[in-house]
Homo-oligomer: A and B are copies of this chain.
Amino acid sequence: MNVEDNHTLHVLWKNHSILRRLTPDEINYLEELVEIRTYKRNEIIFSQGKRINGCYIVLSGIVKQFKTGMESREYIFRLAKAYEILGFRSVLSEEPACNTSSVLEDCTVCYIRKECLYHLVTTNGNFAMDLLQVACRELEESHSMITDMAQKSLKERLAELLLMLRNKFGVNEQQQLNISLSREDLSNMVGTAIESVIRLLSEFKNARYVAVKGRRIAILDEKSLEKIAYLNK
C-alpha cells in the first residue's frame, strides 16, 4: 500500500478498488489521464451544489462526506477510506454535487475525469456492473441508516456508530479506535445535539462500555454495546 508508488493505478488495480476488473489496456489508458492529488486535514475536495468533473478514489487518509441541511447543520453519512470511490454519483447523473467531501485525515486521492468514467462504464460491462454494485451497496446501507434513524433511540444509534467505527477503522493495542472524531462530528453522524452525544458517551463510560480520553475512544465491552445497538429496549 505504498502510496508514493509511481504506478499508483496498478496498486488500485490490484487492490479492492472499483478498478479491479479493468483490462490491462484500460489501465494503461487511465494511467495517462489520471491525476494524483493530496489534501490536508479540513480541506474540501468538492462542495455540495457545485458541479464536479470527475470522481475520486481514496488512496490514503479519511474523507468525510456530509450534507448540509437546515440551519447549516451537517449530516455525515459516510467516512471513506482507502480504495473507496467518491463523487461518481454526481458525475454520472450530471448534477451538482449533492454533498460536501472534506478531509478528516490527510489524504491522497486518484482523480478520474468524467470522460474516462463515462468511457469505462459504457465500454466495459464488468466495470459498469461493479460500479452498479457499489451504488447498490451504498443504497442498501443508506436505507438501513434511515430505518435506524426512524426507529432507534439515540443511545442505540450511538452504540451502533461506535461498533461501526471499530469495524471499519479498527482499534490499537489499547482498544482505542483508529479514528479521531470531534464530539461535533459524532453528533453529526448520529443526528443529534453535541451535548446529547457527550452525555451518552459518559453514560457508556460509567457503565465501562468505553473509555474516553479526549478524542480517543476505546471500546471495552463490545458485547454490551451490541446488545444496546441491536437487541433493543
Within residues 127 to 176 of chain A, which ones have a CB less than 8 A from any CB in chain B?
128-129, 131-133, 135-140, 142-152
> How close is A137's CB to chain B, nearest CB, in angstroms?
6
Instruction: Give A75 to B144 CA distance when docked, in angstroms.
Output: 10
Q: Are A133 and B71 in contact (CB under 8 A)?
A: no
**Contact of B70 with A151 in the complex, beta carbons under 8 Å:** yes
**Is A6 among interface residues, defined by CB-CB distance under 8 A?**
no
Say yes or no: is A67 at the interface (Cβ < 8 Å to chain B).
yes
Please report the C-alpha to C-alpha distance between residue A73 and residue B233 in the assembled complex, in whole angstroms: 14
A: number of interface residues (CB 8 Å) = 48
Copies in the complex: 2
A70, A90, A92: residue with the most chain B Cβ atoms closer than 10 Å: A70
Pick from B77, B131, B147, B191: contact of A75, CB under 8 Å:
B147
Q: Which residue of B lies closest to A91 (CB)?
A: B136
Complex contact B93–A137 (CB within 8 A) = yes
Cα distance A95–B143 when bound, in Å? Answer: 15
B143/A191 in contact, CB under 8 A = no
Instruction: Report A's interface with B, CB cutoff 8 A.
Output: 67, 69-71, 73, 75, 77, 88-90, 92-93, 95, 98-99, 118, 121-123, 125-126, 128-129, 131-133, 135-140, 142-152, 190-192, 232-233
